A and B are shown apart, each in its own frame.
Chain A
Amino acid sequence: MIYEAYFAAFALMALGLFCLAYKSNLIKKVMGLGILSNGLHIFFIAMGYRDGSINPIITSENIQSFPLYSVDPVPQALVLTSIVIDVSVTALALLIIIWIYRRFQSADSGELKHLRH
């Protein structure tokens, strides 16, 4: 149980959620989404910690004590997939923001609400 990693993860998630909800520029909202995702990944990996901490790779030295000391390998595999999805979503979101700016001459979510009709 490492408490510093948990507090850092919660601070990042709170900061990302605040930035996603309260900034009116569209690019800053995309940045807040990225910060929120990274805080969630840190929290998910920190849940697999164990006192002893060998990374889950078998070498010729630790083949005897491997089941007693290694960490949880399942969250690491899930977070690998999630990082790739985050990259793809950010790239497409930024491309759509460029199209919105070329069409409406404004990238502000408060003004875009009134331009709908």
Chain B
Amino acid sequence: MNQKVKLSIGLACIIIISGYMVFSVTSPGFNEWPGKEIASFFITEGWKELAATNTVTTIVWEFRGYDTLGEETILFTSAMGIFALGFGLFSVERISGMKQASGEAQEKPQEASK
């Protein structure tokens, strides 16, 4: 199939998905407030646990503390990964070594600008 058929099929799929999302949001009983139990619990009883006025911080560190533990692990791991993979990535020896290894006789490698 050529390029125009693929593009039109993709646009049609996106329009159908967006139309269904818009239809489900504007239907009458979508997000009514008397029916929310978890939010009512956190609003009325949330500040009694740690006596703090910020409800969002209490949820993040005390009611859902394990999610925050996982998030800090991800941040730590990604910082360590960038340090391990990217140390000395743009140095002159590594650039010239890679260009010789891939078999291309190129112009002089880029000088590291200070």
Q: Are B81 and A77 closer than 8 Å at their CB atoms?
A: no
Is the contact region of chain B dominated by helix, strand, or loop, or is it mixed? helix
A1-59 residues at the B interface, CB under 8 angstroms:
1, 3, 6-7, 10-11, 13-14, 17-18, 21-22, 47-50, 56-59
Q: Are B10 and A21 closer than 8 Å at their CB atoms?
A: yes
Interface size band for A: 35 or more
Interface assignment of B112: CB less than 8 Å from any CB of chain A: no
Using CB atoms, name the residue of chain B closest to A7.
B22
A46-82 residues at the B interface, CB under 8 angstroms:
47-50, 56-59, 66-67, 70, 72-74, 76-78, 80-81
B55 neighbours in A (Cβ, 8 Å): 56-58, 70, 73
Answer whether A88 and B78 are a contact pair too, CB < 8 Å, given A17-B14, A21-B10, A77-B59.
yes
Interface assignment of B21: CB less than 8 Å from any CB of chain A: yes
The listed residue with most A CB atoms (<10 A of its CB), out of B17, B21, B30, B55, is B55
Size of interface on B: residues with Cβ below 8 Å to A: 44
Interface residues, chain B, with chain A CB atoms under 8 Å away: 7, 10-11, 14, 17-18, 21-22, 25-26, 30-31, 33, 36, 38-40, 42-44, 46-47, 53-56, 59-60, 64, 67-68, 71, 74-75, 77-78, 81-82, 85-86, 89, 98, 102, 104
Interface residues, chain A, with chain B CB atoms under 8 Å away: 1, 3, 6-7, 10-11, 13-14, 17-18, 21-22, 47-50, 56-59, 66-67, 70, 72-74, 76-78, 80-81, 84-85, 88-89, 91-92, 95, 98-99, 102-103, 105
Other A-B contacts than A76-B56, A105-B102, 7 sampled, CB-CB below 8 A, are A10-B18, A10-B22, A49-B31, A81-B67, A81-B71, A88-B78, A89-B78
